[in-house]
Amino acid sequence: MAATEIARQTEEGTRTVPLGGHVGFDSMPDQLVNKSVSGGFCFNILCVGETGIGKSTLMDTLFNTRFEGEPVSHDQPGVRLQSHTYDLQESNVHLKLTVVNTVGFGDQINKEDSYKSIVEFIDAQFEAYLQEELKIKRTLHTYHDTRVHACLYFIAPTGHSLKSLDLVTMKKLDSKVNIIPIIAKSDAVSKTELTKFKIKIASELVSNGVQIYQFPTDDETVAEINSTMNVRHVENESHCDFVKLREMLVRVNMEDLREQTHARHYELYRRCKLEEMGFKDTDPESKPFSLQETYEAKRQEFLGELQKEEEEMRQTFVQRLHEKFERLKKLHQEEKKKLEDKKKALEDELNNFKQRKTATELLQSQSLQAGGSTTLKKEKERKK
């Protein structure tokens, strides 16, 4: 038989298929790329910084686009999050970009709670994704993911140290979002002062335990440039030249920022949320605990609590009914006593009336008898 035959008969009569040639699964990366490109991508950036620090200018520069913004008032009592979504296209790749701006951040006299609305916004996006994920009929392939992938934190070029507002806010955000600190308007200070300021900022972040985003270095193709940027990325190089920031944020590490958001920050939120709801992977003895078992345990717990509440309600109802019966009984006794007192008073009054009537009749009888005797006496005297 020819060597290229598809099937052949062995001496034992078993039909075998020879292995050889190109299978084709090396095209999987191309298939993934084509599928991703056809579906498009989304990227969400949160810009945190004080009023007038240059957030809008930076976004225009990063994406080489003039984003139309609405005029906002900065006399709000608190920090307000303003979100805008744009559809961008470069070559044949579509990007749905969402830019979230913190309106009024740092404007208040009391800045103690300035971070809260930012944290609530980030958690709200996590919660929306979690609710979609927990649905029986999910549509994650078409769901518009609004989770924040990168937080550009703008630092004022004071040249001294970080403001307490900045430290507190970044500390509250570092477990929820990828923080990339940026020294805004760095052309306002000299290169020497900028270098010292950058070192000071890095030292304060470390001493305060603030975890900022680290560009990945496990890929050899980007390890060298990312290692360099991990040392200097808090600086706007060459006085507001954002070319390298754009390169690191968009061209090289955008997908890593998306993955970090899902695998690290969202997973932390999801785990904490499910644990609050009572779900767990292991029982008290560290044995595997399935979702079905967790559901049944929660169901039995809920039914037990429901039965307990029903019994408490029944006891409460019986107690209230008994109290009402006792009140009505006491009221009835009081009313009965009042009626008996009135009856006795009426009987006493009736007896008094009868006694007076009897006395009156007796007096009348006596008067009549006395009058009759007098008349008879007068008649007798007249006859004489």
Cite the beta strand spans of the chain per DSSP E: 8-9, 15-16, 41-48, 80-90, 93-103, 150-155, 179-183
Token representation of residue 40: 């498009």
d(CA 300, CA 160): 59
d(CA 26, CA 38): 20
259-318 tens-digit pLDDT: 999 999 999 999 999 888 777 777 667 676 676 777 777 788 888 888 899 899 999 999
Predicted pLDDT of residue 366: 81
Residues of the chain with pLDDT under 50: 1-7, 234-240
H or E stretch at 125: helix 116-134
Predicted pLDDT of residue 239: 41
Predicted pLDDT of residue 219: 66
Predicted pLDDT of residue 360: 86
Distance of alpha carbon 26 from its chain centroid, rounded? Answer: 44
What DSSP letter does each residue of 30-90 carry, written as one string? HHHHHHHHHH-EEEEEEEE--TTSSHHHHHHHHTT---------S--SS-EEEEEEEEEEE
Predicted pLDDT of residue 224: 64
d(CA 294, CA 302): 12
Residue closest to 273 by CA, chosen among 133, 155, 113: 133
43 contacts: CB under 8 Å, gap ≥ 6 = 95, 96, 97, 98, 149, 150, 254, 257, 258
Tally of residues, the chain: 384
Predicted pLDDT of residue 4: 45
3-class DSSP state for residue 282?
strand
In the DSSP assignment, the letter for residue 111 is: -
In the DSSP assignment, the letter for residue 9 is: E
From residue 384, alpha-carbon distances to 373, 377, 380 in Å are 17, 11, 6
